Structure formats: structure tokens, C-alpha cells
Amino acid sequence: MTEPPGNLPSILHRLNVVGQSVVVAVSGGADSVAMLRALLAVQSECSLQLRVAHFNHGLRGAESDEDARWVADLCERLGVVCDLGVADHETLPQSTGSREGDARRLRYQFLERVATTNDCQSIAVAHTADDQAETVLHRILRGTGLTGLIGIPQVRRLDSGVNLVRPLLGLRRQSLRQWLREIGQDFREDSTNTDRDFTRNRIRHDLLPLLEEQFNPQVKSALCRLAEQAEQTQIVEDFAANELLQTATIDRTGTSWVLDCEPLTDCPVAMVRTCLRLVWTEMGWPQQKMSFQHYTRLQEAICDPMRRGEISLPYPVQARLTRRKRQQSLELRVESND
């Protein structure tokens, strides 16, 4: 059998997946089918326990139902246990503002539920280097900061303790499809992947090919390198910001964090903003509501010795600057519902 592209055993060792029970998220598309076949090819060598999970979003009617049947049949032929989930859009309220966003949220909830129910340590999803390039470019177009340039992380720890891993993130989509052809493995095509109403599809099918043809044939590789460099820079900055945050912290509870402004006043503005972002992360506050302008507003208030009172922030976090005994402090708090 033709070997899968890339050095998958080495990747799995680096991701600490070797010897684990893994949920393999399979949509039926080329990337996820290639990931399943590749993991099966190294299953014995890497001591993997694999089970497939497929989530029927229900957004494409009969086509979605056929995808689910196709994945179930594939798993039966390959001898892999398959868990099927179905979205119930009628009874579950929207939270992201789009059906696609809600479907994605429900899918990850289903994957995590399958993993925890079956004592699996990791969930493998099939994002590729092409997905990384598209994500970084999409965020640049929307006006992202340094954190957004990191793009898709290769490993993310979920609240349940399960790791979400992306073993194909360094591989190109084209090489995966070529390998599937070599081994005679078919796959499903999602009709929405060519719908130009979606910004990501316009980036994939129109903008990136234009950039490759007229500006830089290696633009996808360049975007992936940018993501990697941004991640390494963020690691260093977070390490320094954590130390600064410990020095500046006066008090912390389950609903509040009080900072001494003095240690932060003479720091670079980017470092102060990173400290504030870490506070939101540690407290589990909704970061999607916090824009660059909100963090800048807080940073400027911290560095203004004459500033007092409330600082306007998105619900549910409240911010207040106070001064007692020559110490200026910033209190960040979420009011209790009691």
C-alpha cells in the first residue's frame, strides 16, 4: 500500500497522540477521508485505538443524509466503529448569528461528547495547510491583530480535558487527494464548497489563485509561515505577560480580578493588552466581544494617573478605576446573578 503523505508517525509523536484512543472526525470529504485512511495505515505502528464520528449538520437536506450513510458504509468496510450525530436546528437556539456557525458549534459539542463518553484522549480533525492559509488571509482581510495571525492551532485543549488535534495541518490538500487516487479511495464532494456566497469560498477559489498567479506562487506557504512565526512570538509574549500579571495582581476571585496599575504603567502598550487578554482567558470571559479598541481603552485608562470611575466594556464584564492610599487599581468584575 502507498504510504500516506508526510511523516505521520513523527507528527503523532509530536502531538502526543501515540498510544491514545482517538475520535476521528469524518465528514466524507477528501481531507477527512484521507486522515482516516492515513491513521488506519499507522494504527498498529502508533498503537492507536480509533473510532469515527460523523455529524449530520442537516444544512443540505438529502445530500447531508447521504453523506452520513456513505461514512457509515465506509466505516463498516474498514472495520471501524462509527458514531453518527444529527443536528436539531428546530429546538436549539442560534448563538453565533448564522446557521453555519451554529452547525459548527454543535458538531464540536458532538465530537467532544463522543470522546468523553468513550474515554478517548484526543479528537482528530482534518484541517490542512490550505485551510491554514485561507484562515490567516481571511483574518488579515478582516483586520486581525497578532493573535489572529496564528490561525488554526495544531493542538487545542478542550474544557473536558480532551485534546483537539490536527495532524494534517502541515500537509497540502492536493497531496492528500493524489494519495486517495493512488489507493483507489473515493470521497464525497460538499456542494456548498463552491458557493461564492461564502467569503471563505471566494478566498479559496478566487483570491488565492489570483495571488498565486499574479503575485506569489508560494503565497500559501508564506501565509503558513506567518502563522507559525506569529504563534512563536505569542508564546514568548504570553510568558512575559504572565510574569507581569502575577506582579500586578492585587486580588482575584471567581468573578473578579483586581490589578495594581503601577507595574503596568511603564510597560509597552502591547504587553499591557496581552495581560488583559490573559485575564479574559483565565476567567473564561467572552473574548469575541472584546475588540482591539476595547483592550486599548483599558490600557490607556491604566496608564492615566488621573483617570477614575467606570470604563465602558461589552457585557457582562464591568471595569472600574479607583485610587486608595496612592495606589491606583483596576477592578474587572462580572456581577453575580444572585
pLDDT in the model for residue 166: 98
Question: What is the band of 335 on the pLDDT scale with cuts at 50, 70, 90?
Answer: confident
Range 8-222: architecture per CATH:
3-Layer(aba) Sandwich (3.40)
Residue 304 has pLDDT above 90, yes or no: no
pLDDT at 187: 96
Higher pLDDT, 239 or 305: 239
Domain edges within the chain: 8-222, 253-334
Q: Give yes or no for residue 55 having a pLDDT over 90.
A: yes
| Contact criterion met (CB below 8 Å) for 270 and 237 | yes
DSSP for 272-302?
A: HHHHHHHHHHHHT--GGG--HHHHHHHHHHH
Number of H helices, E strands in the chain: 13, 11
Reported pTM? 0.85
Which pLDDT belongs to residue 336? 63
- Topology of the domain comprising 253-334: 3.30.465
Confidence of residue 159 (pLDDT cuts 50, 70, 90): confident
- The amino acid present at 121, given as its one-letter code, is Q
Say if CB 274 and CB 238 are below 8 A apart: yes
Q: 82-111: per-residue pLDDT in tens?
A: 999 998 755 555 554 566 677 788 999 999
- pLDDT by residue (tens digit) across 182-200? 999 999 998 888 888 889 9
Q: Which helix (H) or strand (E) holds 24?
A: strand 21-25
